[in-house]
Amino acid sequence: MGSGNFELIFDRVGHFGRYQIFLYCACAFQNISCGIHYLASVFMTVLPKYTCRPPGNVSQILFHNISLWRINNIWTLFPTGREDYIVVQLQNGEVWELTRCYRFRRDNNSSLNYDYNGHKTGFPCLDGFIYDKSKWDNTVVTQWDLVCNREWFARLIQPTFMFGVLLGALAFGYLSDRVGRRPVLWSTSIGMYLFGIAAAFTSNYYSFMFARFLLAIVASGYVMVVFVYVTEFIGMKARTWASIQVHSFFAIGTMLVALTGYLVRTWWIYQIILSTVTLPFILCFWMLPETPFWLLSEGRYKEAQTIVDMMAKWNRASTCELSELLSLDLYGPVGDNSSEVKKSNLLDLFYNWNIGIRTLIIWLVWFTGCLGFYTFSLNSVNLGGNEYLNLFLMGAVEIPAYVFVCLAMDTVGRRNVLMFSLISSALFCGVIMVIPKGYYIWSVVATMAGKFSIGSAFGLIYLYTAELYPTMIRTQALGSGSMVCRVGSIIAPFCVYLSSVWIFMPQLLIGILAFVSGMLTLKLPETLGKPLTTTWKEAAELDVEKDSSSGKLFPTANNTDGGKNTSDFFRGFWS
């Protein structure tokens, strides 16, 4: 049974009627929760100003030539970028020098002066630390003192989460093909709520990390399966826009993180509030059916017929008999060859020299897109100005980016849009680096432009990858690209930490990778207006056509057929 005649179902019952709109809105709304959890650690792991706690009650404080009575009043004067110390006098008369990670007791207590050349004894911060609470009352860092020699514990929070994302994509992608889309969506949504709440009530760092790790696995599983779920319910006339705009709801999650972080300054309350976004979907999930595509692939025709009848009723269309409709193509050619599918493996992505080069370029684009996507978001809080507004804008700019992709890819071609997006991202990284330090508004604007560009590339690479490979290896091409993508997301937090070496180091790395990726994209063939390839010979001919038309930058109007390409892509994605 070919996948092509599945599309005839939507010709009868509607491509994007009221039934599909309801399912789409419900599932896309849940994607907001995924966007929330992916970036929630931005504010949970905030590192405020801090200093070593003295071993007693303080009677007087001295910072340079300024004398204070309360240590909380010192933070506006305390430097962020360089090491300095505070001199305090305890009620027992002892004088101590407090730095970030050590404290020193002066042997001479006769006078309270900031400068001291006498003998002093150093001690570790056994009594804990004092934190600046002007912005956040409590964070994960201040809860468990993840500073000084424990600072690397805080830096592992986001990479560990992204490693869970990698495992979740592998596990639930497999399970959705075995047990169905609906059970996976249900289990991952319940898991997101439970593990999200559990993370807020953890009593130590290790249990927090474990809860977040499980949260990452289920959130990643939902992101992967919901993409397939909504596209299996939507006809090809609306599938391109609907599937790409699912990512827009992920962006709304980023915006909610910024808004919640601004309103709530205690990390565990912040975590609970963000986790409750999952509840509306859980309450209405019982109304969501299994997809007819999966049921038909499992031979459960009666259940599939029931869902198609319901779809037709909601859409006020005439129903169709699947037994008659699907028999129309029983004797027609089938694009997929099952024997070839069974024999294919990852090494087939290097079928010959040209295909191998194509694979390496595509992997580099996947890696660069994901690395840049998360680096721009995570680094937004370091741009200056209002960090909450910065992150909100980083999420908001993704929505027009996805609209741009939908409009441009069927007009000027996939390769041209991808190249333009990557090169533009590299240029904006360069612009960020030359903006003077005090002009943080211009830095935010340039960073938004860079996020727009890299977001466009990241949103397009899914479709473009599927169109570059033949049917028998298409799923593995997408899977391998997704694996490389997750590696980029794991590395992204460490890329942000490089700003401590040089403030523009993240932009320099992203800019170089984006420029190289953009230039190498020119070596890829254009797929706009071409049917999906089913054999290696057809895939190789894409390069031949690219060489013969290398003088044309943009495709002409009479050689485009974007709707066919995108619908074929999604059929290949779940085949």
pLDDT of residue 545: 60
CA distance 55 to 128: 9
Question: Of 251, 257, 255, whose CA–CA distance to 452 is shortest?
Answer: 251
For residue 277, the SS3 value is: helix
Q: How confident is the model at residue 294 (pLDDT cuts 50, 70, 90)?
A: confident
pLDDT of residue 205: 95
Which of 161-170, 453-462, 540-549, 561-570 has the weakest average pLDDT? Answer: 561-570
CA distance 157 to 210: 10
CA distance 363 to 359: 6
pLDDT of residue 556: 41
- Radius of gyration over every alpha carbon of the chain, rounded to an integer in angstroms: 28
Question: Span 426-436, mean pLDDT?
Answer: 93
Spatial CB neighbours of 532, under 8 Å, sequence gap ≥ 6? 335, 466, 467, 471, 474, 565, 568, 569, 572
Q: How confident is the model at residue 511 (pLDDT cuts 50, 70, 90)?
A: very high
Question: Span 113-137, mean pLDDT?
Answer: 87
Q: Which amino acid is at 132?
A: D
| pLDDT above 50: residue 429 | yes
Question: Span 140-152, mean pLDDT?
Answer: 92
Contact predicate 460/409, CB 8 Å: yes
pLDDT of residue 334: 39
Q: How confident is the model at residue 514 (pLDDT cuts 50, 70, 90)?
A: very high
CA distance 210 to 569: 37
Spatial CB neighbours of 23, under 8 Å, sequence gap ≥ 6? 230, 233, 288
CA contacts within 13 A on the Cβ side of 371:
26
User: What is the pTM assigned to this prediction?
Assistant: 0.83
Question: Span 354-376, mean pLDDT?
Answer: 91
pLDDT of residue 565: 43
Spatial CB neighbours of 68, under 8 Å, sequence gap ≥ 6? 60, 61, 62, 74
pLDDT of residue 5: 57
CA distance 27 to 237: 19
How far is CA 384 from each of CA 379, 440, 445, 447, rounded to the nearest angstrom? 10, 6, 12, 12
| pLDDT above 80: residue 568 | no
Q: What percent of the chain has pLDDT over 90?
A: 35
| pLDDT above 80: residue 405 | yes
Question: Span 397-420, mean pLDDT?
Answer: 90
Spatial CB neighbours of 418, under 8 Å, sequence gap ≥ 6? 365, 457, 460, 461, 464, 518, 521, 524
Q: pLDDT digit string (tens) for 131-142?
A: 988 888 899 999
pLDDT of residue 326: 64
Q: How confident is the model at residue 559 (pLDDT cuts 50, 70, 90)?
A: very low
pLDDT of residue 420: 95
Q: What percent of the chain has pLDDT over 70?
A: 85
Paired tokens of 269 = 């309350």
Q: pLDDT digit string (tens) for 30-66?
A: 899 999 999 999 999 888 888 899 888 888 888 777 7
Contact predicate 48/133, CB 8 Å: yes
How far is CA 245 from each of CA 224, 387, 420, 455, 489, rounded to the nearest angstrom? 14, 26, 20, 12, 21
Please measure the distance between the N-terminal and C-terminal CA atoms of the chain and give it in whole angstroms: 11
CA 308, 314, 316: angle at the middle one, nearest 5?
100
The DSSP bridge partners found for residue 131 are 50
pLDDT of residue 475: 62
Question: Of 442, 449, 438, whose CA–CA distance to 514 is shortest?
Answer: 449
Question: Of 126, 119, 134, whose CA–CA distance to 101 is shortest?
Answer: 126
Burial class (CB in 10 A: 0-12, 13-18, 19+), 92: exposed
CA distance 554 to 560: 11
Average pLDDT of the chain, as a whole number: 82
pLDDT of residue 519: 95
CA distance 44 to 211: 14
pLDDT of residue 507: 92
Q: How confident is the model at residue 331 (pLDDT cuts 50, 70, 90)?
A: very low
Paired tokens of 564 = 């066919």
| pLDDT above 60: residue 563 | no
| pLDDT above 60: residue 337 | no
pLDDT of residue 570: 42
pLDDT of residue 421: 95
Q: Which of 110 and 92 is assigned the larger pLDDT?
A: 92
Question: Span 200-227, mean pLDDT?
Answer: 92
Contact predicate 447/394, CB 8 Å: yes
The DSSP bridge partners found for residue 96 are 88, 105
pLDDT of residue 500: 80
Evaluated on CA atoms 249, 252, 257, 263, the torsion sign reads negative
| pLDDT above 70: residue 527 | yes
